[in-house]
Chains A and B, each alone.
Chain A
Amino acid sequence: MSDSATGLLTEPIVDTAIADRLRAVLPNDVDYASARVVDEQSEHLMVRQNTLEPIFNEFDTGVMISIWNGGGLGYAATADLSDAGLRRAVATARHWATVTAGSMVTATPPPHHPTGTYRSPVEVDWDTLPLDARLELLHQQSRLLGIDKRIVDWSASLTRRNVDTLLVTRGRNGESGEVEQRFRFVYPGMRATANEGTNTQTRTFGANAFCGQGGAEVLGRFGFGDAANRVANEALELLTAPNCPSGVMDILLAPDQMILQIHESIGHPLELDRILGDERNYAGTSFVTPDMFGEFQYGSELLNVSFDPTVPGQLASYGFDDDGSPATKQLLIENGVLKRGLGGAISQERSGLDGVSNSRAASWNRPPIDRMANLNVEPGDSTVDELIGSIENGVYMHTNNSWSIDDSRNKFQFNCEYGQKIENGEIVGTVRNPGYRGISRNFWTNLTGVADKHSFTVMGTPNCGKGEMNQMIGTGHASPACKFSDIEVFGAEA
């Protein structure tokens, strides 16, 4: 049986008692003060080549104190949640607010003192699949992946993260807020690498994009238990497949490549903090300028893109962002026209532009910045078969495996794991190493087909990097398959 002290780790940190203690320690003589607690418990399981890798359990808890006062802003992050620890953090944040007063880009605090809750929708509690069953599931998948001598490496993995957050705010005039959110994430993974000579090909389970909020049902949502055979056989198939052709042609991008295309060439360029210059030293700037909102034809009339943190079960759904703005769905691009950017309350105030509720922090030890949350391409009217049928010469590309784009988010080059050659409206065979390149500013105007809801797939990207201090965070993306015309396509090195 478990050591009696184990409860110290598994009992929730975010509760009424800590909310009361945070309210007591936050000062009421400053313009705005907040305390954001993050309590995360995660479990990482992987079976590689039929051998269990070491199980790893993480318990990560801390608080970020933020104080806006007199034209200054300061943060202090600590894992010491004792009253003394909280008081020290408040003093540190207050000191920073004094030091930075008069030298801030903006010292306007968040406009909200919100109250509310959020819970990830869970249909099947994760613990109904006990650890030994989780391990056996991974061993089963591993055995199904290692089916041929040419499969030289393979693995199956499961990560579960429970993240509870609490945001307590206090203002100078007695205002106060409290937002409690409880997130449950599941990240299944699988990969098979095949090799012959100097040709190595890897096929994965959606390049880690088949993840989301929920419980054990997330595995069924993406067909985790049925994928291993396909993943392994497609890796082998790629070994003998011809090289992807080069030239200008049509491409059809599967949802597990579309999410990367959306993320890099719509999501990042629309982030208001990039447009405002915060990210220029690291993640970069944007080809999008403030005058383009409301006017710019970002894509063809088939392009409709939503920011939607309310999609049940999507990776970056929530009730409130980390500055306390309530989550709502907004159309960013409507019939191809750019409508609004991805900026939270502070970026909206700085830029004078419309934004969304996307001020998010990676954890308790990082301050919120503008992030994507869920960014989705709305379904169209065509079936995938109709889109294939409309292509005379092209490639159907699946599952991202390489991405690169310039610091203005314009010139990009992406590669996929698996390609299918299309000739005269029919798939005629598999091709390896499919890739394409283009320029964001023009690329989306070449969108000539959007598949309907039957191919619409809700996914996520677990690791999006940005910010100084650097922050890694999950973003959600959903898309149907989409067709683009007259695109520069290439294959592997000769």
Chain B
Amino acid sequence: MSTSTSTSTRGQATYFDELVTAATAKLQGSEVLLANLAGEHTDFIRLNNNDVRQAGTVDQQKLSIDLIDGKRHVGGSINLTSDQANDEARLTALLGQLRDQRRLVADDPYLMYNTEPTSTESIKIGNIPAPDAALADIRSAGQGKDLVGIYASGDTYNGFANSLGQRNWFQSSTFNLDWCFYLRADKAAKNLYAGFDWNDDAFARKVDWSAQQVAALARDPKDLGPGEYRTYLAPRAMEEVMSLLSYYGAFGKRAHETKQSPFLRMLAGDATLSPHVSISENTAGGVAPNFQSAGFVRPDAVDLVINGKIGDTLVSPRSAQEYGVATNGAHSGEYPESLAIAPGSIPTDGVAEALGTGLFVGNLWYTNFSDMSACRTTGMTRFATFWMESGEIVAPVNVLRFDDTAFNMLGTQLEGLTDEAEVLLDPSTYMERSTASARLPGALLSSMRFVL
């Protein structure tokens, strides 16, 4: 297979550096400038029924700045055109507007930025296929099948720079094929092939696995009524639950302090997770930048839950100022970008036997809270979900709604976790391609509550 080359290895970093250096020269008095760049060159191919629905290329670079004078500051962003004179003029114009607005704002008691320059660089140039070749390979794998999904590949890059001389750069070239083989209606096997280096054999193994799943879905589906069922949640199903908890403040300092965390009952000492559960923000093991927008570099790992009990929280610089604690380089949303759950002891190859009779849930979907204060969550089964008996697939299961607390699912009802954690790269492309990831094992639950 032919491969594409990175759009630039150092070019974007140098350009960013030059822009910030030029802007720094235009600062007035004691002003401080913080600058962040988020950019991508992405080729995308959207498929339905193994044909192309939409295909194209997106080039974008968003430059966000914070213009500070003492404790007063205002932020803004422009997107860059790669025409240096034009970009410098627009950046100068933005500085002017922010300076105007800054006259109207009071001191910000929670302003905090890194004043000890810590420059870093990470560039991972992968071996990704040229998009024409990727399309041919994907369509070949989907020949005779109803393949639907999205392929996205190319460079993503993030940079931080400030007028104090700090420079941080993170760049990678990756591919991400997020696809399903559909059998009929809502019966499908979902899979993901993503990484830095495309490997034909690895892709073929993924395709074979999906083909086997689709074959299993051909059996007559089973309707299960509301009730409590012994359940295995595969890593992708776990990802849905963990994403919900993460996004709504399970691990964030501000959410904890303002009583808006789904772990409120844990904080009050009224609940715990299972001792089998240890959760961390594992920046060193993820694929996201290790720096944030105020210039703080993140530690390799932050232990968020230790053997079922609350550990540290993710603390943004603003929260650090507001609550009088140290920041650990969290972004303003204070949710993990490289979440990891430590594996357990259930042999990954033996989960069917360990489950015995019950539900094998490959994917969950559309999770949300039915009572956040109690950490009660709801959502749907989706894609490959099977009824198993004595460790064998009996039938695919029509979609079911669960409604249960995480304190049950990952607490009292958790029998154990698999001994391998799967690396899950986030295929999300809202606004820009995500660099988030998760390392999650599967979870065996003695009981899980389904309501519809």
Chain A interface (Cβ within 8 Å of chain B)?
1-10, 51-52, 54-62, 73-82, 85, 92-93, 96, 99-100, 103-106, 131-132, 135, 152-153, 193, 195, 197-200, 202, 276-278, 280-282, 284-285, 365-367, 402-408, 410-411, 413, 415, 433, 435, 437, 439, 465, 468-472, 490, 492-493
Chain A residues, Cβ within 8 Å of B131: 99
In the bound complex, CA of A41 to CA of B268 (Å): 44
Q: Are B51 and A402 in contact, CB atoms less than 8 angstroms apart?
A: no
How many residues in B have their beta carbons less than 8 Å from beta carbons of A? 98
Chain B residues, Cβ within 8 Å of A277: 48-49, 146, 148, 182
**B229 contacts partner chain A, Cβ-Cβ < 8 Å:** no
Query: Do A198 and B264 contact each other (CB < 8 Å), given the known contacts A55-B101, A57-B74, A413-B452?
Result: yes
Chain A residues, Cβ within 8 Å of B92: 3, 5
Chain B residues, Cβ within 8 Å of A100: 52, 55, 135
Q: Are B58 and A73 in contact, CB atoms less than 8 angstroms apart?
A: no
Q: Are A79 and B74 in contact, CB atoms less than 8 angstroms apart?
A: no
The 8 Å CB contact of B178, one of A276, A413, A468, is A468
**B394 contacts partner chain A, Cβ-Cβ < 8 Å:** no
Q: Are A3 and B93 in contact, CB atoms less than 8 angstroms apart?
A: yes
Give the secondary structure class of A's interface.
mixed
Chain B residues, Cβ within 8 Å of A366: 58
Q: Are A198 and B270 in contact, CB atoms less than 8 angstroms apart?
A: yes
Q: A105-B52, A280-B48 are in contact. List 5 more A-B contacts (CB 8 A).
A: A9-B97, A78-B59, A100-B135, A437-B401, A437-B451
* B402-452 interface (Cβ within 8 A of A): 403, 405, 428-431, 451-452
CB pairs A–B below 8 angstroms (25 shown):
A3-B92, A7-B93, A54-B74, A54-B111, A56-B75, A56-B77, A59-B77, A77-B59, A78-B60, A96-B57, A99-B55, A100-B135, A135-B104, A277-B148, A278-B46, A280-B188, A282-B150, A282-B178, A405-B366, A410-B399, A411-B380, A413-B451, A413-B452, A468-B149, A493-B374
Q: Chain A nearest CB: distance from B154 CB in Å?
A: 12
The 8 Å CB contact of B399, one of A57, A75, A408, is A408
Q: Which are the 8 A-B pairs with shortest beta-carbon distances?
A: A3-B96, A75-B56, A493-B374, A468-B150, A57-B76, A195-B259, A153-B258, A5-B93
Chain B residues, Cβ within 8 Å of A81: 81
Chain B residues, Cβ within 8 Å of A93: 56-57
The 8 Å CB contact of A2, one of B51, B76, B100, B110, is B100
Chain B interface (Cβ within 8 Å of chain A)?
42, 44, 46, 48-49, 51-62, 66, 73-83, 86, 89-90, 92-101, 104-106, 108-111, 131-132, 135, 139, 146, 148-150, 152, 178-180, 182, 185-186, 188, 190, 258-260, 264-265, 268, 270, 365-374, 376, 378-380, 382, 399, 401, 403, 405, 428-431, 451-452
Query: Do A472 and B372 contact each other (CB < 8 Å), given the known contacts A56-B77, A277-B48?
Result: no
Chain A residues, Cβ within 8 Å of B369: 402, 415
Q: Are B373 and A199 in contact, CB atoms less than 8 angstroms apart?
A: yes
Chain B residues, Cβ within 8 Å of A435: 370
Chain A residues, Cβ within 8 Å of B372: 200, 402
Query: Do A153 and B260 contact each other (CB < 8 Å), given the known contacts A5-B89, A407-B186?
Result: yes
Q: Are B75 and A54 in contact, CB atoms less than 8 angstroms apart?
A: yes
Closest residue of B by beta carbon distance from A3: B96
